[in-house]
């Protein structure tokens, strides 16, 4: 399946509502993945009041993370851009304490992919 111009395939059949931990996938024909977690809205509201999600209906809050591998970084940002474009999700970056749009996410993914090629 190609999303946002990059082939991303989840390599295991998983229920994302139940799965937590490393989510393996193939990204641009290379093995990669990222860490998937589920967060409680109250926890988010307390830890990141900048999100101010009380004005929207929240059905689920997922945490996407990566280690030091830049392919994982690219996987996270491309996957988040797909969640935004295909499912109307919102992406909040805990580093900048701001929401990112699809364009921001793809720019970050491109930078991570460039860094991965240098590794």
| pLDDT number for residue 77 | 93
| pLDDT number for residue 5 | 65
d(CA 106, CA 3) in angstroms, rounded, equals 11
| pLDDT number for residue 1 | 43
Output the six-digit token pair for 45.
Answer: 């509201």
| pLDDT number for residue 9 | 84
> Are the CB atoms for 32 and 75 separated by under 8 Å?
yes
- pLDDT below 50 — which residues of the chain? 1-2
Phi and psi at 9, nearest 5°, equal -130, 125
Whether the full predicted model's pTM is greater than 0.85, yes or no, is no
Helix axis angle, 70-87 to 102-118, nearest 10° = 160
């Amino acid at each position: 399946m190609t999303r946002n111009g990059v082939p991303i395939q989840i390599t295991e059949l998983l229920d994302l509502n139940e799965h937590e931990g490393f989510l393996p996938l193939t990204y641009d024909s290379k093995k990669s993945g990222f860490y998937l977690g589920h967060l409680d809205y109250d926890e988010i509201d307390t830890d990141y009041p900048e999100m101010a999600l009380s004005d929207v209906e929240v059905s689920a809050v997922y945490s996407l993370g990566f280690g030091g591998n830049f392919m994982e970084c690219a996987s996270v940002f491309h996957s988040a851009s797909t969640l935004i474009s295909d499912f109307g999700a919102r992406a909040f970056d805990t580093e900048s304490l701001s929401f990112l749009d699809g364009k921001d996410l793809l720019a970050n993914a491109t930078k991570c992919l460039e860094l991965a090629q240098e590794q």
